Structure 1
Amino acid sequence: MKISGIESILLSYLPKNPPRDGLSGIPTRDVYLVKITTDEGITGIGEGFALGSLKSTAIIVEEILKPLLIGEDPTQIEGLWQKMYRTTFRVGRRGIVLAAMSAIDIALWDILGKKAGLPVCKLLGGVKDSLVAYASAGYYQEGKGLDGLAREMEGYRSQGFRAAKMKVGGESLAVDVERVRVAREALGPEVKLAVDANNAWDYSTALRFARAIEKYDILFFEEPLSSDDVQGSIKLARDCDIPIAGYETEYTRFGLRDLIVQDAVDIVQTDVIWSGGISEARKIGILASTFGKECIPHFSAGAVSLAANLHFGVSLANINLFELTVDDNPLRSELSLGSIEVRDGMIYVPDRPGLGIELNEQLVDRFRVEI
């Protein structure tokens, strides 16, 4: 079997009330997809992170990666990953290049699963069929206020979620501490609460915040600092009692290695559409397990990303919790014709061959962006 074609699909959705996290606003929900075709008629779909960089990611694929892959055997996934990574050495080790590689790698796993007639998680030696899902939202939004945040969190509790996560870092410490208090009370004692600063703070600010919210029984404190500040994160993980989680913004196992080895994080987070695909995310998860650390897949994008992160997540014993971003986004909830089941606080991996995703072509046409 040979790769015969690679097509970029660019999708963008404009939320009615755009959310904001601790670092910046999110005016659009962008989804970059690749469709890889083969001479045997098997097609694979992959997704790469592309918030605000849809066209740039497509150009990376078209100009750099596609020429490396046409005519190659799509089942030689590790070899093709290494070929892409070595060839792009002088271009970048984070960001758009890794996002483009992620989309390619995921599509190759989709092809291999369809060729074998098995879900991707089975090819990876999956250890379970579901994960505990936590509702990830709690964004800053115009007009929401404390009452709106409380209603949001009460909604997650009533839907059966066992944990929820909220954004911090976008307001003063006093305001954010009060927001955490309101969320904690709305969730009640049985539902766990995590916070995510999206790299917004320095060490001293993050430590003051952590000490102010420790009494609210926080599950974890995600990406409090820049992922460049390894020494700051080492100190923070040592000095506060809340587990520090991160850093998907470090992308590959090479960057996360120092954070893991030096105990700069207690919980390792990675995302198959940021890190270089399922292949690299799994290596990160295994590296985390070597140091006795839990791994949590990050997820905030489209339906293909959701499925791919789930297949990765159920393949490792040190992954038990899964991020399910639940804001307004049809590119997550409607892009696949076969929905992913969420029930009683659990999210279930698709059991169809490959990723188990079939694109809703009507939705693709509705939200497509031309290069």
Structure 2
Amino acid sequence: MRILEIRDAVAPIASPIRNAFIDFSKMTISVIAIVTDVQRNGEPVIGYGFHSNGRYAQQGILRSRLIPRLLEADPDSLLDETGGNFDPKTIWQAFMHNEKPGGHGDRAVAAGALDMAVWDVVAKVAEQPLWRLLSDRYNDGRHDEEIVVYPGGGYYYPGKEVTGLKDEMRHYDEAGYRVAKMKIGGADIAIDQARIEGALEVLGEGQRLAVDANGKFDLPTAIDYAHMLEPYDLFWYEEPGDPIDYALQAELAGHYEGSMATGENLFSTQDVCNLIRFGGMRPDRDWIQADPALAYGLTEYLNLIEATEQLGWPRRRLMPHGGHQLALNIAAGLQIGGTESYPAVFQPYGGFADDIPIIDGRVRLPDAPGIGMERKLVMFEALRKALELAD
């Protein structure tokens, strides 16, 4: 059992949208394929991976460090104790060999994309959907039949303002979502309030709407927004300040009784633990959004779940950013709170498989081997084309 080849490429996910900090007109991601000598149904088992939006492609780190280390490793050392499958933890250690602790940034993103492809391989070799493999190995066979999902959206679109935002929220409502998210902080507070009220005209109650400032605010502005937002009783107020400004987050908790969410830009277990220790996060109402595809992968996310539970944080309050099928499998198999989706942006990589309907804000996962990328046809074709694997 061997890894024969690892391919990587840069793929575009450009979208004519912006949040409070950046626009996405030139956004890219890294895509990965791990080709093995294992055969299933007469075809080689190939694992596919990519990282989430918001961080650019990491081709330099992948090609100069992580991929060469993995290909240079003793092939037998990458197998599990049975010799019948690959060992994700050992593979992770191989490609992270000789990397110093700390510096959790672009390296974590590169590792997240590569690790996703590893887990896709492992689940396919085992002939199990990833969610079931995770349930059996790490959750005593327990899993969720239905997973809570919400669409990340509500960006600032040129020329659309409130009318376009209302149309978008109406689309999510008709698609079956029960909570939707919109951006704030990219306009002044009065305009953002008008946008929120427009969204609520469509969605109704505040618990159907989350807002996201993408780390834009200083403490006084974050507090001003908190006072404006609180009467609406929103689903959450997300990432008001810089992601590692734990003092701001902790102080804001004293000014806002509603739910808050943050963590998509924390790229290590240590950073998330510090958020819990020093950021004033409240496990009865707040949410942690660490994204496994940006933070060293599922292999590290398993460590994150264990570490945060030891700090008294329930796994049901984890809700990953990213809108990808990896997080969806994690949510089902490890019974965390749910996950994000991107049905309207960052295409073709945003959103879930074609045959997964959204029903009352929840989805069910198919019983197909791997992560399920082959079931999102346009994405899968683009992935294989980028990696020069297309027929």
- What SS class does the counterpart of residue 273 from structure 2 fall into? helix
- What SS class does the counterpart of residue 185 from structure 2 fall into? coil
Q: Which of 98, 102, 106 does residue 96 from structure 1 map onto?
A: 106
| Aligned-pair CA distance for 1:32 | 1.7
1:111 maps to a residue whose letter is V
1:267 aligns with 2:287: yes
**Structure 2 counterpart of 1:5:** 5
**Structure 1 counterpart of 2:303:** 283
Instruction: Output the CA distance in 2 between the equivalents of 1:48 and 1:144.
Output: 29
Identity in percent: 28
**Structure 2 counterpart of 1:355:** 371
- Cα-to-partner distance string for 1:109-131 (whole Å, 9 max, x where unaligned): 11111111111111211511331
Q: Contact 1:8–1:34 (CA<8 Å) still a contact in 2? A: yes
Instruction: Output the CA distance in 2 between the equivalents of 1:333 and 1:140.
Output: 18
2:125 maps to a residue whose letter is K
**Structure 1 counterpart of 2:139:** none
Q: Contact 1:140–1:167 (CA<8 Å) still a contact in 2? A: yes
TM-score relative to the length of structure 2: 0.83
**Structure 2 counterpart of 1:111:** 121
How many residue pairs were aligned?
357
Counterparts of 1:1-371 in structure 2, within 5 Å, are 1-15=1-15, 18-40=16-38, 41-49=44-52, 51=54, 53-54=56-57, 57-70=58-71, 71-72=74-75, 73=78, 75-89=86-100, 93-125=103-135, 127-189=143-205, 192-265=208-281, 266-290=286-310, 291-293=312-314, 294-300=317-323, 306-317=324-335, 319-332=336-349, 339-358=355-374, 362-364=381-383
Hey, which of these two has a bigger chunk of strand by percent? Answer: 1
- What SS class does the counterpart of residue 239 from structure 1 fall into? coil
Q: Structure 1 residues 8 and 50, CA, compared in 2 at 3 Å: closer, same or farther?
A: farther
For structure 1, list consecutive stretches of 5 or more residues without a partner in the other structure. 301-305
Output the aligned Cα RMSD.
Answer: 2.5
- Cα-to-partner distance string for 1:143-175 (whole Å, 9 max, x where unaligned): 111122122222222332111110011111221
2:333 maps to a residue whose letter is S
Q: Contact 2:342–2:351 (CA<8 Å) still a contact in 1? A: no
TM-score relative to the length of structure 1: 0.88
| Aligned-pair CA distance for 1:193 | 0.9
2:49 maps to a residue whose letter is G
Q: Structure 1 residues 108 and 365, CA, compared in 2 at 3 Å: closer, same or farther?
A: closer
Instruction: Output the CA distance in 1 between the equivalents of 2:386 and 2:122.
Output: 28
For structure 2, list consecutive stretches of 5 or more residues without a partner in the other structure. 39-43, 80-85, 136-141
| Aligned-pair CA distance for 1:237 | 2.1
Instruction: Output the CA distance in 1 between the equivalents of 2:111 and 2:37.
Output: 21
Q: Structure 1 residues 220 and 287, CA, compared in 2 at 3 Å: closer, same or farther?
A: farther
**Structure 2 counterpart of 1:303:** none
2:95 maps to a residue whose letter is M
- Cα-to-partner distance string for 1:223-281 (whole Å, 9 max, x where unaligned): 11111211111111233112221111011111111101235333111112101111222
1:46 maps to a residue whose letter is G
Q: Structure 1 residues 262 and 362, CA, compared in 2 at 3 Å: closer, same or farther?
A: closer
Q: Structure 1 residues 264 and 29, CA, compared in 2 at 3 Å: closer, same or farther?
A: same
Instruction: Output the CA distance in 1 between the equivalents of 2:147 and 2:381.
Output: 30
Q: Structure 1 residues 63 and 248, CA, compared in 2 at 3 Å: closer, same or farther?
A: same
1:110 maps to a residue whose letter is D
2:332 maps to a residue whose letter is V
Moved more, 209-218 or 280-289: 280-289
2:113 maps to a residue whose letter is A
